[in-house]
Structure formats: C-alpha cells, structure tokens
Amino acid sequence: MGAAPILEMRNITKTFPGVKALSDVNLSVMPAEIHAVVGENGAGKSTLMKVLSGVYPSGTYDGAIFFEGKERHFRTIANSEDAGIIIIHQELALVPLLSIAENIFLGHETSRNGIINWYEAFSRTRELLSKVGLEEHPNTLIANIGTGKQQLVEIAKALNKKVKLLILDEPTSSLNEKDSNALLELLKGFKAQGISCILITHKLNEVMKVADRITVIRDGKTIDTMDVHTGAVNEDRIIKAMVGRELSERYPPRTPKIGETLLEVKNWSVYHPIHADRQVIKGVNLNVRAGEVVGIAGLMGSGRTEFAMSLFGRSYGKRVSGEVLLHNKPVDVSTIPKAQAAGLAYVTEDRKTFGLVLIDHIKHNISLANLPGVADHGVVNDIREIGVATKYRKDLGIRSSGIYQTTVNLSGGNQQKVVLSKWLFSEPEVLILDEPTRGIDVGAKYEIYGIINQLAAQGKAVIVVSSEMPELLGITDRIYVMNEGRFVAEMPAKEATQEKIMRAIMKSWGT
C-alpha cells in the first residue's frame, strides 16, 4: 500500500470490571476505502467504535489512535466529530416530530445571535438531500418517512458535518433489499469522493459487494484483515474466521416428516388500523401441515408481519375477516388469549419492543405467556417456575449467568432464545416466527435453525417470515411469496431459488 492510512488504531485494550472487552485490537483504514468490520454479537465491534468515537474517553483504554497521521485523544463524541469521524448507530438518532431540515441542523443550526436562518438551512438541506439521493421536501417530518429514508437523512446529517470517516453500525438491518442496495451504492459514491467508511454488518453478501478490506473481530481480538481485491476471500472464509470453526453447513440437516393439514387460513383480509380504507391483506389463503416448516417471503412492507400479527389475535389491523381452521375445525382467534388457547404462538420480529420485558430477568420472561402453567389458583409456584426456566435455559442453550440475569444484558441471540422459550412454554401447535434471526450472529442463527427443526420434528406447524431468502431456502419445506398483501406465488423450497422468488414479486407489482 502506497498511501498512509487515514485511521490507525493500535493495540487497543479496553477492560470493564471483570471482562476484557478488547485486547490488542488493531484496525487501519486507508483513505477512500470501505472497510468492513465483522464479528459475532458481543465480539467487541461496538466497543471498538465507542473507543474510536470518544464515548469511552481517552485514558479509559490502552493503546493509541492515529487519525490523519496525528495521535488523537478524543474525550467526547463532539471531539471526534470535529475531527471528521461520524458514527451512525443502528438505532437512528433522529427526532420523529421534527422536519428533515430541523434534524439535519440539530445542534449545528446556521444562526446569527441565536436566531436560526431557516432559508439557508433549507437550501443546504436541499443540496445534502440531493447528494444522498433522497427526494423529499426538507419540511417533511421524520415520522412520515420510512426507515430507509431516515437512514439517508442520518447520512445527510453526517455530510453536513464535513465527514472524513463515516462509521455505519448495521445500516441495512432494517432495510429491504432495494433500499440496502441503494445505500451501498451511495457508499461507493462517497468512496469516489475520498470519504472513508467503516461498515459494521452481519450481512456478508453486502460485505463482499462493497468492501475493499475486511477486518474480523472475535472475542475482543483482531483475527484477520483480508483484502477483497487480492486475496481469495469468500463468505466461508469470513465465517470461519468469525466463529473460529468451520461451519460445514449453514443450515442444520433435517428429514421432514409431514403429516395432516394442521392450520388453514381462508380468505384472510385486514385493513390498516389508521387509514381505514386501505386494505393491507387482501384475501389470503394459507395452509400448514403438521411437521412442516412454511416460509413467507416478500419485501419489507409487503404485508408479511401484518398478516402474521392479525392472525395472532388481531394484534394488528382493523376489520379483520376470514376463517381459521385447526385440524379442519374452525377456531376463534379474535383476541390474543383466544389465539393462544387455540394453540397459536407468534414470535415477534422486534424482540426488544414486543418480545421481552427488558428490565426483568430470564425466569419471569419465560413464564410470562403461560403464567397459569406455573401457578395454582393464581398463586405462582416459585419452585415450578424455576424448574421451567432452568429447563429451557439448558435445552435452548441460553448463555447467561443464570436464570436471574436481566434480559437487557443478554446478546441478541440469547434474547431471541428467551423469547422462543416463552412461546415454547405456552405449548403451541402452530408457531409463527417473524424474522427469527434478525440481528443475530452466525453461530446463534445455526442454533435457532436447529430449534426450528426440532419443533417440526415434534409435529408442530411452523411458519417462518423472513427477509433473508437464503434462510428460507435453507430451512423451509414450502414458500409462499407475498407482495402488496397477496400471496403471488407458492413453491416447494426444493424448487425455489432467490431468482424465482424475486421474479414472482417483480411480475406481480400492480396486478
């Protein structure tokens, strides 16, 4: 390499009481480079970025940071931002009820004597939005635009601060394929303008698409830095470095034993809870057999989650109509308790908002959906509850200090296992899993797939909603493709390919 790196982090070591989060981590980023940092959840990626951006002030860690050739001691986020290092977090830091322009200039208002010059802010916002390719009026409220566009606003905000090194933490985790691609293209555009970029992600296909170099972090150590342009880099090599072992298969093997039809949904239709005349689900039919894993594919916004939630006790939508049959008999699933009693369970796509009581511990979270199962006449039997929690912790391999660990402190994969435990303990016949592996590292994903296989082997009907098509191809028996609130195709997983699914979606637009 000819040029000097724009950023060098040397031998960074950061200890928390009792834990060594980072030990001797090295990271160097060249000018105009897209550098991917990958690793399992809890590997230390976020800690490293917090060290870099000054969240952990200089002096609380060992090692040195060189930026543009000079050693830096960032004490606050403002310090690192002044130097041109901007970090965009997974959870976006935008104020929903302020406009795009107000958000972009929040804290950096173009003002004279404390009076904001809105005209200037406006025209600057226009410029910035065109740079990131966002066609929205600067006065539009953040609450009224989708996550993909919000991400672009964040980036525009970063550009406004004269960014030299842009750090993106899981930028595409809540974006659909189209928005993700647009974002990645944007990063390539920045690269051409000389802006460097650190991309933290779980999605290896994205890494392969845009990254120049890849640094793998595992257990707080740098494992490897690979050059995509010279070395023989492929996803398998990255995964091997990430998990420290060869994952011979990404999906555990399974021999399906498919029985009678267990669940049948007929002519299911749902209207939007606020815009009452908008039909979100338009007369959908679905069936699942015992022991079968059925996938629902589709883009973000196609109505998958809305379908699943409306099915589960009408927890979404208005004017829900249609028929649900279990074992060929009609059942009432009009409220969540009724749906539960009928044998349905819904594992949410957003475990922090809808899945867990984060301030409470594992034991209480597991029993929550089936409290009568650990109680006699409304009085909780502590001993039985402990037994249940201990069993699921062991069976599902929840890694924690015990059943009394607060769930907020668990990694994404382990949180997901707690949510799964909760629903397994409610002893459902039909499980609807909405994005069961979102934001989870490769190792934990494999374990979750294993659990899904076990459930199917026990004769349960499993519905998996997922944005990751390879996942659906890997673990399901049959795939429904959803678009604009309809199933536009249905195919056995064996015959399905990503191209077939995409083609079905593309052909169906506007029909």
State the residues that interact with another protein by CB under 8 A: 312-313, 315, 336-337, 340, 346, 348, 353-360, 364, 367-369, 371-372, 375, 378-380, 382-383, 386, 404, 422, 426
Nearest distance in Å: CB 275, another protein:
19
**Backbone phi, psi, residue 170, to 5°:** 50, 55
382 vs 395 by CB, closer to another protein: 382
CA distance linking residue 433 with residue 414, whole number of Å: 16
64 vs 336 by CB, closer to another protein: 336
67 vs 392 by CB, closer to another protein: 392
CA distance linking residue 510 with residue 20, whole number of Å: 54
Beta-strand runs (E) in 300-374: 318-326, 329-330, 344-347
Q: Which amino acid is at 494?
A: K
Helices and strands counted in the chain (H then E) = 16, 24
Q: What is the DSSP letter of 450?
A: H
253 vs 378 by CB, closer to another protein: 378
Tokens at residue 265, please?
């949904």
**CA-to-CA dists, residue 321 to 261, 270, 284, 304, 433, angstroms:** 21, 7, 10, 16, 22
387 vs 470 by CB, closer to another protein: 387
Tokens at residue 300, please?
């973000």
- Indicate the helix (H) or strand (E) that contains 365: helix 362-367
Nearest distance in Å: CB 400, another protein:
14
Nearest distance in Å: CB 332, another protein:
14
Nearest CA to 222 out of 439, 54, 8 is that of: 8
Nearest distance in Å: CB 354, another protein:
5
32 vs 55 by CB, closer to another protein: 55
**CA-to-CA dists, residue 361 to 211, 365, 391, 446, 487, angstroms:** 39, 6, 15, 25, 39
Nearest distance in Å: CB 111, another protein:
33
281 vs 356 by CB, closer to another protein: 356
243 vs 465 by CB, closer to another protein: 465
Nearest distance in Å: CB 304, another protein:
17
Nearest distance in Å: CB 276, another protein:
18
**CA-to-CA dists, residue 381 to 73, 219, 375, angstroms:** 55, 39, 5
Q: How many CA atoms lie within 13 A of 235 on its CB side?
A: 13
Nearest distance in Å: CB 448, another protein:
19
Nearest CA to 7 out of 62, 86, 122 is that of: 86
- Indicate the helix (H) or strand (E) that contains 60: none
